[in-house]
């Protein structure tokens, strides 16, 4: 965990602020027209560094720090290149992803729509960055309970990715995982497993079997197997998912989710181990950024149910 980074205050979201932030200055240069010895080169290199650090901070769960870094990068690009910089659409996507993680859905919706518009204007309607924006719009629709619209966004994103990237690309695996989760939430468990199996195959081949996205796929598979009552199969995939997430240093909420599911899979066969996993999961989740009370309550209820059952077993 990076404890050296100083989190600076960031501007609260409002559309006026972002409209001003992203509006192209006059005149705006084309990125291809910037000379190599131009001062813009150093400035834009610094913007890339800010974006890189912003992604690292987001992966650690430091969302405020990440937001500040991405906004600094955007301001630099706006100053030197305006809307002509293709990175602007990516910046919208990163900020939209942050807003999704923070639960700021109205802000995220606006940012993701801007990302899609910017990417289509700069790259054309069939570019992977358009697909990334569509994918995030699908996440938002799913979070709002509109599964039909979410499926439409995901399928549009998948079609673009297959045309532009082919099947053997981790981004395709990520969208297949989203479709798997959508099918699971819709109750179509067999279709969900098909999506997860294909996503897993792609990610194993392209990212070596250790990526956080693969862990997400395995968590989804574990959920489905638990719904089928196949606890041993669920245990195997969830143990692997947890190992990947621990090694990847993902956010506390992601670790907690894997531990809670694995605890459920182990409840009948190894009850004491199961309880310890959920205790750790609850402790981890309470340290996450903006923990949701509903998730805390679910883990507390799990532990209360376990303790009641243990007391009854001891009494008998």
For 266-309, the pLDDT digits (tens) are 999 999 999 999 999 999 888 876 678 888 999 999 999 998 88
Task: Report the C-alpha gap between 264 and 219 in whole angstroms.
Answer: 12
Higher pLDDT, 277 or 22: 277
Local confidence band at 173 (pLDDT 50, 70, 90 cut-offs)? very high
What is the distance between the alpha carbons of residues 57 and 18, in angstroms, rounded to a whole number?
22
266 part of a folded domain: yes
Predicted local confidence at residue 29, as pLDDT = 43
- Residue 293 is assigned to a structural domain of this protein: yes
Looking at the structure of the chain, the number of domains it has is 1
Give the pLDDT confidence score for residue 4 in this predicted structure: 31
Residues composing the chain: 316
- Give the whole-angstrom CA distance, residue 85 versus residue 69: 18
Structure tokens belonging to residue 171: 């981004």
pLDDT at 176 over 50: yes
Given pLDDT bands bounded at 50, 70 and 90, which one contains residue 251?
Answer: confident
How many of the other CB atoms lie within 10 Å of CB of 135?
A: 24
- Banded model confidence at residue 82, pLDDT cuts 50, 70, 90: low
How deeply is 107 buried, as exposed, middle or buried, from its count of CB atoms within 10 A (0-12, 13-18, 19+)?
A: buried
In a domain, 119, yes or no: no
Taking the mean position of all CA atoms in its chain, how far away is CA 203?
Answer: 16
Closest CA to 196 of 210, 171, 211, 179: 179
- Does the predicted TM-score (pTM) go above 0.85? no
Quote the pLDDT of residue 19: 41
- pLDDT classification of 71: cutoffs 50, 70, 90: confident
pLDDT of 178 > 70? The answer is: yes
Does residue 304 form part of some domain?
yes
pLDDT reported for residue 304: 93
| In-domain check, residue 242 | no
Averaged over 230-251, what is the pLDDT? 93
What is residue 156's predicted lDDT score, i.e. its pLDDT? Answer: 95
Domain assignment of residue 116, yes or no: no
The reported pLDDT for the residue numbered 314 is 62
For range 146-165, the mean pLDDT = 94
Largest CA distance in the chain: 82
- Tell me the pLDDT band of 86, cut-offs 50, 70 and 90: low
By mean pLDDT, which of 129-133, 211-215, 286-290 is the weakest?
Answer: 286-290
Q: Is the pLDDT of residue 31 over 60?
A: no
Looking at the domain assignment, is residue 87 inside a domain?
no
188 token code pair: 């179509």
Give the whole-angstrom CA distance, residue 152 versus residue 144: 14
Average pLDDT, the chain: 82
Question: What residue numbers bound the domain in which 303 lies?
Answer: 251-316
The per-residue pLDDT for 1 is: 31
pLDDT of residue 13: 35
Tell which phi-psi region holds residue 28, choosing left (phi > 0), alpha (psi between -120 and 50) or beta: beta
Is residue 285 domain-resident? yes
User: Of 14-18, 115-119, 280-284, which range is least confident?
Assistant: 14-18
Task: Say what the pLDDT of residue 36 is.
Answer: 44
Q: Which own/partner pairs from 256-261 qualify as long-range (CB within 8 Å, at least 24 positions apart)? A: 256/281, 256/282, 256/284, 256/285, 256/288, 256/295, 256/299, 257/219, 257/281, 258/215, 258/219, 259/284, 260/298, 260/299, 260/302, 261/219, 261/222, 261/223, 261/226, 261/234
For residue 85, the model assigns a pLDDT of 62
Task: In the chain, count H helices and then E strands.
Answer: 14, 0
pLDDT value for 198: 95
Residue 194 CB partners (closer than 8 Å, separation 6+):
180
Confidence at residue 25, expressed as pLDDT on a 0 to 100 scale: 38
């Amino acid at each position: 965990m990076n404890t050296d980074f100083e989190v600076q205050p960031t501007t609260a979201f409002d559309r006026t602020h972002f409209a001003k932030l992203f509006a192209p200055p006059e005149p705006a240069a084309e990125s291809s027209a910037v000379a190599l010895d131009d001062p813009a080169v150093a400035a834009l290199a610094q913007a890339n560094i800010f974006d890189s650090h912003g992604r690292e901070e987001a992966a650690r769960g430091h969302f405020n720090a990440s937001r500040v870094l991405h906004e600094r990068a955007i301001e630099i690009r706006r100053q030197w290149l305006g809307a002509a910089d293709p990175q602007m659409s990516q910046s919208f996507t990163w900020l939209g992803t942050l807003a999704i993680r923070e639960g700021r859905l109205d802000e995220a919706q606006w940012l993701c729509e801007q990302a899609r518009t910017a990417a289509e204007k700069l790259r054309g309607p069939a570019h992977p960055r358009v697909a990334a924006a569509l994918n995030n719009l699908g996440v938002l629709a799913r979070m709002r309970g509109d599964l039909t619209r979410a499926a439409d966004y995901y399928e549009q994103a998948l079609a673009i990715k297959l045309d532009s990237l082919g099947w053997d690309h981790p981004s395709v695996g990520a969208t297949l995982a989203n479709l798997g989760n959508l099918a699971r939430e819709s109750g179509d468990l067999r279709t969900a497993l098909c999506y997860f199996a294909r996503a897993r195959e792609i990610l194993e081949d392209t990212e070596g079997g250790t990526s956080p996205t693969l862990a997400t796929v395995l968590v989804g598979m574990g959920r489905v197997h638990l719904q089928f009552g196949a606890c041993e199969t669920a245990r195997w995939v969830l143990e692997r998912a947890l190992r990947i997430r621990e090694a990847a240093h993902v956010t506390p909420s992601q670790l907690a989710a894997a531990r809670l599911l694995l605890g459920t899979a182990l409840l009948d066969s190894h009850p004491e181990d199961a309880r310890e996993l959920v205790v750790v999961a609850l402790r981890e989740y309470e340290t996450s950024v903006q923990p949701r009370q509903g998730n805390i309550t679910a883990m507390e209820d799990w532990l209360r149910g376990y303790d009641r059952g243990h007391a009854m077993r001891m009494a008998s």
